[in-house]
Structure 1
């Protein structure tokens, strides 16, 4: 019998599972909405990125169907070869208008923006200065670059200045990279201070706004929140969260966009996403522009839910956005908490190592505007019951 050369992976998985650090998958049986059916059970959805409840919006569906009628199901090729349609041009113009920049570009995913563009922006002798809590796609993208990288303590502006001061004399070019909204804690980057320090130390700025579009700045993201649309050098984001669609985006000066699609291997060497996706993405940007009340309603519901959780005695950590964590600590306890919530009709995800440091496990709640006050009150009742049974409150 041939020896199983991959058996070491089984052992690694079993060790991860024993520590409560694996990710069991749950099957969604309906469209993503406020009360979907998951594994045969209707649940209150607190685990999706669908902040503005657009993933199943009839207008996005109609735009997608119209695009299928015109252009078929698949792009047929990479955008750089033969898969590019007028829908992409329309979407790119919409991105630029939405983000208040000269140019816009869509990517196959948000991850592929960071993994494909960051390796191309700097050379040997340059340096990235990155927040320690930045998304894994930023970390991977920087690792692929010939440039060096330096890390500053999370949202610590004094430490950022210390790193910039030391880097200014040692490197040719510097880019400060930060998430806009940090996806595990729900806190917001101090983008105004980051920009001020970058200007002082002649550095460029790159912000990952995947959890900011549709949420901050009346829906236009963190640069609009701080009035920095024309000041941040590289703005990237996602259509797969508040926009309810799929894919990533980049916004900046037109020469930045031109450089990006001519050098990002993720853009050049991956098939374009279906025309239906491009049409739905553009529709989502229009809806966010035309219906600012969606964003206001999202924040109202978020404030209510977090306040009520805290009144029950839960620790909501650093959350200040529709990402509302409930801090647990131990990974196994967090996973058990999430399972008990699910059994009682509330789907909220446990976040464990390596997504967060060991000892920092939490339940991540993500509010979406489709949730009613009745939904939120029922979720809070279940939280109260499970939290008391597990001794969390």
Structure 2
């Protein structure tokens, strides 16, 4: 087979995404994917092609991405350690800064120890693969993040899905599955598409009744839910505890990386058994220092969390009163439903004309006819920003005949 014939077999896969994107972004003003934004450090505004717009789809929940304290910490780390490390953590890549960050994560998460990965995706894939394998069974929520799904598939364990936040359905799945090997239930604390919260207390009861461990991804919960932003256990007043807790350092914490927190024995196991950790270069000094300083600021300034929670509720209420749907959101993640994929792109385009950036999420990431703009309320927004944004979203929805 010559090279041309070989490439021709790949062409249908290349054509799918080429044609899919073209069908939605057929004009320059409809482009929403891979757009370069110049974000202002001291506000929630961003520049897009010379136009100053209010960013309403960014994930720096705590508003710390441009904080001078965080920036200074990153600069100081580069001055001390340089721009990179000398390899993987198991060999020459570990620094005192990594150990300091992991100790802070463990303290924040209320666990004995923690481990920091190069990304939240790697943390999920690596942790799942180190805990389960062939002969084990993993039970995942239908809306779990792609990194959880991929980790489960790569692990070789039997994967069973249950309906979103449906504990009764999970219990039936657990009862029907062989009670052998490791049984692991995995959920998100806060779901990134709908902004709803996992029913932790009921999940814990079902897991205990069926010999299953409970793993929770706090990616969109850290800094967002719980009285001081410590996540789902704090949200439920520490009534129950999860077995494996992990998250990212790239959302509320404005850096890079992922983390896992648990018992000392679990973390020791992950150091040697989690392949994305063992075979990936260590997190860079600037990212480690930025994450460490941000965690410390969060603990000193819980008012940031209080603002996010209060203003998210107010924002959702304003949209609801105008007749708009935010499905089951109860957090800073606020989906604004547009309908079809084309409708979501139409809506995003009109929103930019009215001064706000609301980025569309379409199928297959969300169900048919539930394409939406995925909005995130952050501590970088002011009350005036959020009032302006709500008005812009409502006005745009009327122009697009969504309401």
The equivalent residue for 1:235 is 245
The equivalent residue for 2:15 is 11
Structure 1 residue 137: Cα displacement: 0.3
Q: Specify which of 291, 297, 307 is matched with residue 297 of structure 1.
A: 307
CA distance in 2, matches of 1:219, 1:53: 13
Q: 1:229 to 1:35 in 2, by over 3 A?
A: farther
The equivalent residue for 1:324 is 334
CA contact (8 A) 1:327 1:363 kept: yes
Q: Give the match's secondary structure for 2:224.
A: coil
The equivalent residue for 1:368 is 378
The equivalent residue for 1:173 is 182
Q: 1:73 to 1:18 in 2, by over 3 A?
A: closer
The equivalent residue for 2:362 is 352
Structure 1 residue 345: Cα displacement: 1.7
Q: Specify which of 205, 220, 228 is matched with residue 230 of structure 2.
A: 220
The equivalent residue for 2:217 is 208
Residues 237-246 or 73-82, more deviating? 73-82
Matches within 5 A, 1:35-114: 35-114=45-124
The equivalent residue for 1:26 is 35
CA contact (8 A) 1:337 1:390 kept: yes
Q: 1:361 to 1:278 in 2, by over 3 A?
A: same
Residues 16-25 or 104-113, more deviating? 16-25
Q: Which runs of no fewer than 5 residues in structure 1 stay unpaired?
A: none
CA contact (8 A) 2:201 2:239 kept: no
Q: Which runs of no fewer than 5 residues in structure 2 stay unpaired?
A: 26-30
The equivalent residue for 1:153 is 163
CA distance in 1, matches of 2:279, 2:191: 29
CA distance in 2, matches of 1:135, 1:119: 15
1:102-145 C-alpha deviation (Å, 9 max, x unpaired): 11111100000111221121132210011111000000000011
Structure 1 residue 309: Cα displacement: 0.8
1:283-318 C-alpha deviation (Å, 9 max, x unpaired): 111111111111001111111111111111101111
CA distance in 2, matches of 1:146, 1:237: 23
CA distance in 1, matches of 2:301, 2:255: 17
CA distance in 2, matches of 1:344, 1:76: 48
CA contact (8 A) 1:124 1:147 kept: yes
Structure 1 residue 382: Cα displacement: 1.5
Q: Specify which of 182, 191, 213 is matched with residue 191 of structure 2.
A: 182
1:220-248 C-alpha deviation (Å, 9 max, x unpaired): 11122224498311101111111112110
1:172-210 C-alpha deviation (Å, 9 max, x unpaired): 221110011000000000011101111111110000110
Residues 370-379 or 234-243, more deviating? 370-379
Q: Give the match's secondary structure for 1:326.
A: strand
Structure 1 residue 31: Cα displacement: 4.6
Q: Give the match's secondary structure for 1:328.
A: strand
CA contact (8 A) 1:29 1:39 kept: no
TM-score by length of 2: 0.93
The equivalent residue for 1:271 is 281
CA distance in 1, matches of 2:191, 2:342: 23
TM-score by length of 1: 0.95
CA contact (8 A) 2:201 2:240 kept: no
Q: Give the match's secondary structure for 2:89.
A: coil
Residues 12-21 or 375-384, more deviating? 12-21
The equivalent residue for 2:28 is none
